[in-house]
Amino acid sequence: MDAFTMVVLACVSGQPTCTTTRVNETSFTTFEACEERIDDVTRKMTKQLGQQLELKGREVTYDVSCMNRQQLREKFGIVDAAI
């Protein structure tokens, strides 16, 4: 069974760029297992962003996707077989 990779894009209002995190774990053998980690990862990212004084009080939006290898290749053009 193909493992899933969680891709998290965090955008802070007023910032010109977004932060991207990719989480790939062997326990992500189902879409549901990948989704279960979303809250934990976004909570940690929000906490880290909130520690930056210049970002305090700004809105953070997240775009989260759980994709298998083929979906990563199609969406992002990732050709590394190690993903």
Of 54, 66, 57, nearest to 24 by C-alpha is 66
CB of 37 closer than 8 Å to CB of 18: no
pLDDT value for 41 = 85
pTM score, two decimals? 0.67
Tell me the three state secondary structure of residue 11: strand
In-domain check, residue 39: yes
Assigned token pair, 29: 């053998």
In-domain check, residue 82: no
In-domain check, residue 21: yes
pLDDT value for 78 = 64
In-domain check, residue 59: yes
Residues of the chain with pLDDT under 70: 1-2, 78-83
Spatial separation of the C-alpha atoms in residues 61 and 58, rounded to whole Å: 10
pLDDT value for 80 = 59
CB of 80 closer than 8 Å to CB of 2: no
Range of the domain at 10: 4-76
In-domain check, residue 83: no
In-domain check, residue 11: yes
Domain count, the chain: 1
